[in-house]
């Protein structure tokens, strides 16, 4: 029998959102007054309906506070919905004093801090479940500022939509950074990050660059170094590396397990230059990596084993999973294989999340990764 104060999760797909929402209500069952925070994710088929869906869920469940956004896909335990109309929710038995909703609508996270300064002081290092609009010009900077200003640990993702880039944090908005801050004093959480790529060469040093263009690495033409690391076969036909070979920017102070993956966006054979999808500086570290299903599966299992160890054998009460739109069926194959691995290694527990346009962990914006937050 389900504990009345347990986390509740449900997911459903239907051509009309009301039918999907009705199926979710049946699955969730009766709630208690302690269920005060809901997480709501919809695929972009329902992007224009997010406000109506939120109102419906608020009125029918009695849960007043909801956050969420739109993804090209959404997830539940063991199930992925991709390119189809679907809703996934998680309702947490967390009392209102233990969390705060926020919206950084003006791009000034200092306002978020001031409005919640007393709460943040008591929360110490809060978990901040965050969603952001990828169309914001300085989205990376705003994510970094949110983490530093609140002294929080971030987990979340960027909205992914072919329609409206809607976000929910109490009200529905666009062009914002929003979410909820949770006190780790009251809500124990463990977080993990899994990469979708694996390094194919050593960590190197950028010795010549301008903006996002690499001219030299380790004192040699950048293109020569790229060809050396990818191997002779791929180097003969560079057209084959698109979507397979990427640049990786190691995170300072970490090992090779933590790096930011960025696309290769251009090659100048005459100049021996390589352009990547991020600004870099001379003196920065860089390596190259490949993206393939076997590497992604191996690293996903590594993350899950580590989380299981850190959970210490205790019950996993609920979870949030933010995976890249390039993962899921695009990397692991059909039949919800990525979510199936999570279920296989951690068991069944209430889970929701989405396939995002970029994943957020701590104070950084990643790509091709999965970020898993477990409530213990």
Adjacent-strand bridge partners of 102:
179
The answer to whether residue 21 sits within a structural domain is yes
Within the chain, which residues score under 70 in pLDDT? 1-4, 253-257
Whether 206 is in a domain gets the answer yes
Q: Write down the pLDDT at residue 258.
A: 84
Domain assignment present for 22: yes
261: tokens are 């993956």
- Considering the domain architecture, whether residues 109 and 134 belong to the same structural domain is answered as yes
Any domain includes 3: no
Q: Are residues 275 and 314 in the same domain?
A: no
CB-based burial label for 332 (10 Å; 0-12, 13-18, 19+): buried
Same domain, 265 and 325: no
Two structure tokens written together for 122:
């008591």
Q: Which residues contact 82 (CB under 8 A, 6 or more apart)?
A: 43, 72, 73, 328, 329, 355
Structural domain boundaries enclosing 233: 198-291
Task: Please indicate, yes or no, whether residues 182 and 216 belong to a single structural domain of this protein.
Answer: no
If asked whether residues 33 and 181 sit together in one domain, one would say yes
Alpha helices in the chain (DSSP H): 17-28, 50-61, 109-115, 117-123, 139-150, 222-230, 232-236, 293-311, 337-346
Task: Indicate the residue among 231, 256, 291 that finishes a domain.
Answer: 291
Query: With contact defined as beta carbons under 8 Å apart, do 198 and 289 qualify?
Result: yes
Question: Is 235 domain-assigned?
Answer: yes
Q: Is residue 1 part of a domain?
A: no
Residues 208, 191, single domain; the answer is no
Same domain, 210 and 342: no
247-266 pLDDT tens trace? 999 987 654 468 999 999 99
| Helical pair 50-61 and 17-28, crossing angle rounded to 10 deg | 30
**Final residue of a domain: which of 254, 276, 291?**
291
Closest CA to 94 of 59, 124, 65, 137: 65
CA–CA dist 42, 166 (Å, integer): 10
Q: What is the pLDDT of residue 256?
A: 45
Say how far residue 272 (Cα) sits from the centre of its chain. Answer: 34
157 assigned to some structural domain: yes
| pLDDT score at 4 | 67
Inside any domain, residue 46 = yes
Q: What is the pLDDT of residue 1?
A: 35
Same domain, 180 and 262: no
Integer Cα distance of 256 and 169 in angstroms:
35
Domain count, the chain: 2
Regarding whether 175 and 113 lie in a shared domain, the answer is: yes
Residues 136 and 38 in one domain: yes
Q: Are residues 159 and 203 in the same domain?
A: no
- Boundary of a domain, candidates 291, 319, 345: 291
CATH number where 223 lies: 2.40.30
φ/ψ of residue 259, rounded to 5: -150, 155
Q: Do both 152 and 207 map to the same domain? A: no
Cβ-based neighbour number of residue 253 at 10 Å:
6
What pLDDT is attached to residue 22?
97
Q: What is the pLDDT of residue 321?
A: 98
User: How much is the pLDDT for 124?
Assistant: 77
């Amino acid at each position: 029998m389900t504990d009345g104060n347990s986390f509740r999760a449900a997911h459903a797909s239907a051509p009309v959102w009301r039918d999907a929402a009705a199926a979710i209500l049946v699955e969730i069952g009766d709630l208690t007054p302690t269920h005060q925070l809901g997480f709501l994710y919809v695929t972009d088929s329902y992007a224009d309906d997010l406000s109506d869906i939120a109102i419906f869920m608020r009125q029918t469940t009695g849960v007043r506070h909801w956050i969420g956004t739109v993804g090209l896909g959404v997830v539940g335990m063991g199930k992925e919905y991709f390119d189809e109309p679907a809703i996934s929710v998680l309702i947490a038995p967390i009392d209102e004093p233990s969390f705060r909703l926020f919206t950084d609508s003006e791009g000034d996270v200092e306002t978020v801090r001031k409005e919640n300064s007393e709460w943040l002081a008591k929360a110490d290092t809060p978990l901040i479940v965050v969603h952001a609009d990828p169309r914001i010009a300085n989205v990376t900077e705003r994510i970094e500022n949110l983490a530093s200003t609140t002294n929080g640990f971030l987990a979340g993702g960027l909205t992914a939509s072919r329609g409206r880039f809607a976000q929910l944090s109490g009200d529905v908005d666009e062009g914002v950074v929003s979410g909820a801050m949770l006190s780790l004093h009251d809500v124990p959480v463990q977080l993990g990050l899994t990469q979708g790529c694996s390094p194919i060469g050593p960590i190197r040093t950028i010795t010549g660059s301008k903006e996002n263009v690499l001219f030299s690495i380790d004192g040699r033409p950048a293109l020569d170094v790229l060809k050396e690391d990818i191997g002779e076969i791929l180097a003969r036909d560079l057209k084959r590396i698109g979507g397979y070979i990427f640049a990786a920017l190691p995170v300072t102070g970490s090992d090779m397990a933590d790096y930011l993956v960025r696309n290769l966006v251009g090659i100048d054979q005459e100049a021996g230059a390589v352009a990547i999808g991020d600004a870099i500086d001379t003196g920065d570290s860089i390596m190259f990596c490949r993206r393939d299903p076997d590497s992604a599966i191996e690293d996903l299992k590594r993350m899950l084993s580590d989380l299981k160890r850190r959970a210490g054998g205790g019950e996993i009460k609920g979870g949030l999973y933010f995976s890249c739109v390039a993962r899921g069926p695009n990397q692991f194959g059909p039949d919800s294989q990525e979510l199936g691995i999570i279920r296989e290694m951690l068991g069944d527990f209430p889970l929701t999340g989405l396939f995002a346009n970029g994943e957020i962990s701590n104070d950084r914006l990643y790509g091709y990764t999965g970020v898993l937050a477990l409530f213990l």
